Structure 1
Amino acid sequence: MITLYGVAISNYYNKVKLALLEKQIAFTEEVLPPAQSEAVLKRSPLGKIPFIKIDGGYLSESQAILEYLEEAFPEHPLYPSDLFERAKCREFIQHIELNVEQIARRIYAEAIFGGKVSQEIKDEVLIKVENGLKGLARLMTLSPYALGDHFSAADVVAWPHFQLVGFATQQIYGRDLVAEHIPGVAAYMQLIENRPHAQLVGKDRAAALEAFFKNR
């Protein structure tokens, strides 16, 4: 049995959770926010979430977890069998996380957590996120899924990231940059949200967000 640690407001947590559900892997969840306590650092070297507990120990970093799950549980694959198409899936994931989500998270402090971000950072993030999304649009086929006619790891990753980046940019710039730069993304998001496992993840995420904003 796998234990998934983290919080349901995290897009990276929800990425791993959706993968576990779609691959039909048995797991339990333990609510645990990121922390610098010794107890957490022993399991996740920077105190980040999500991380998982497996028979051999603990594993952190969401993409490393996704790759492990694919190799350890080959049933219900999330990656294409063709080597080039598998590499394209990994390319997509790296692009969306490095050139879109990791850039956009610089404005989360204000968009989500009630802090303040300088105008200089906002301007820089705007340019870089727009460029990243334009590049991502060149990789996506939306036919009807991110990279073709099969649901894949690309969709597991895109769905929670698009949700958060779209929300954050709407809050800061008054514009949903994901909707602006990914043609057809609204229909795509609805397609993913029609999946029962995505609905479960979304329901848990909504409840966690409600509790977070209530207690902030």
Structure 2
Amino acid sequence: MITLCGSPISNYYNKVKLALLEKGMPFAEESVDTHSTDEAVLGCSPLAKIPFIRTPQGGLCESQVILDYLEAICPNPPLVPADPYAAAKVRELIAFIDLHLELVARELYPQAFFGGTVSEGNQARIRKLLTRNIAAFKRLVMFSPYVAGDRFTQADCAAFASLPLVGMASKAVYGEDLLLAAGLDYKPYLKLIGERPAAQRVVADRKAVQAKG
């Protein structure tokens, strides 16, 4: 059995968890803090990043690597199209969400969520980059009704986990949700995904952990 390690607070943990649930794969969960110095953690995730998984063969880290592993060992139901070009478009969307949106917005999290401060210079730099990247993402995303078209894919696991953070962080720091400001109305999409039992489980588990403080 696979053990998913990390925290339900993490969007990348929830990206993987949503895929596991959508595939109906049995898995256990293990709470692991970020930046752990435990050798049992470093043996699976050398940078002590979460999430990572424990498998009968050993550990595996990096959320997208994990999703591709899950797809390989459990191809049904598929979360990546069989057509090579369509599959590449799904991975293209994931790269934009993870690297060009969430990773950039992550620099705002200290001020948006944790009581810290981001300098005015960095705020301006991040806003410029996010504005450019969101405009580019808008050219790729479909919302018809899913991120990559008419079927739920790995890209939806990434989008459901990370787009809300991009919106909330930019709203907290800049006073406006930069996704919505760019004309990217993603809220109906989040509502649609949120109606899926797997997504409801992810959200409920995250809220339970947040409630404990």
The alpha-carbon deviation at position 156 of structure 1 amounts to: 0.8
Distance in 2, matches of 1:210 and 1:123, equals 33
Q: Which residue of 2 aligns with 1:125?
A: 126
Aligned to 2:192: 191
Tell me: CA distance 1:209–1:178, structure 2 relative to 1, closer, same or farther (3 Å): farther
**8 Å CA contact 1:34, 1:47 repeated in 2:** yes
2:37 aligns with 37
Say if 2:67 is the partner of 1:76: no
**TM-score w.r.t. length of structure 2:** 0.96
Which string of whole-angstrom CA distances, capped at 9 and with x for unpartnered residues, describes residues 5-39 of structure 1?
00111100000000000011100101111124142
Amino acid corresponding to residue 192 of structure 2 in structure 1? L
**Tell me, what secondary structure is at the counterpart of 1:117?**
coil
1:66 maps to a residue whose letter is L
Aligned-residue offset at 1:182: 4.9
- CA gap of 1:49–1:182, structure 2 versus 1, over 3 A, is farther
Q: 1:95-114 counterparts in 2 under 5 A?
A: 95-114=96-115
AA of the residue aligned to 2:56: D
Partner of 1:22: 22
Shift of 1:210: 3.0
Unaligned 5+ segments in structure 2 are none
In structure 2, how many angstroms separate the alpha carbons of the residues matched to 1:169 and 1:195? Answer: 27
Distance 1:191 1:200 in 2: 14
RMSD of equivalent CA atoms = 1.2
- The residue identity in structure 1 corresponding to 2:89 is K
**Alignment partner, residue 9 of structure 1:** 9
Counterpart Cα distance in 2 of 1:60 and 1:38: 15
2:51 paired with 1:50: yes
Question: Following TM superposition, by how much is the alpha carbon of 1:73 offset from its aligned partner in structure 2, in angstroms?
Answer: 0.8
Question: What residue number does 1:169 align with?
Answer: 170
Aligned AA for 2:18?
L
SS at match of 1:114: coil
State the distance in 2 between where 1:70 and 1:58 align.
16
**Could you tell me whether the CA contact under 8 Å between 1:133 and 1:182 is conserved in 2?**
no
**Alignment partner, residue 207 of structure 2:** 206
CA–CA separation in structure 2 for the residues paired with 1:117 and 1:24: 41
Deviations 1:186-205 (A, max 9, x none): 11111010111101101111
Separation (CA, whole Å) in 2 of partners of 1:139 and 1:114: 34
Query: Could you list the runs of 4 or more consecutive aligned residues of structure 1 that deviate by over 6 angstroms after TM superposition?
Result: none
Structure 2 residue matching 1:145: 3-state secondary structure: coil
Give the counterpart letter for 1:131 in structure 2: R
Instruction: Give the partner amino acid of 1:22.
Output: E
Residue 29 of structure 1 aligns to a residue whose secondary structure is: strand
Identity of aligned residues (%): 45
**Which SS does the other structure have where 1:22 is aligned?**
helix
Normalised TM-score (structure 1): 0.94
The Cα of 1:67 is off from its aligned counterpart by: 0.6
1:148 partner letter: G
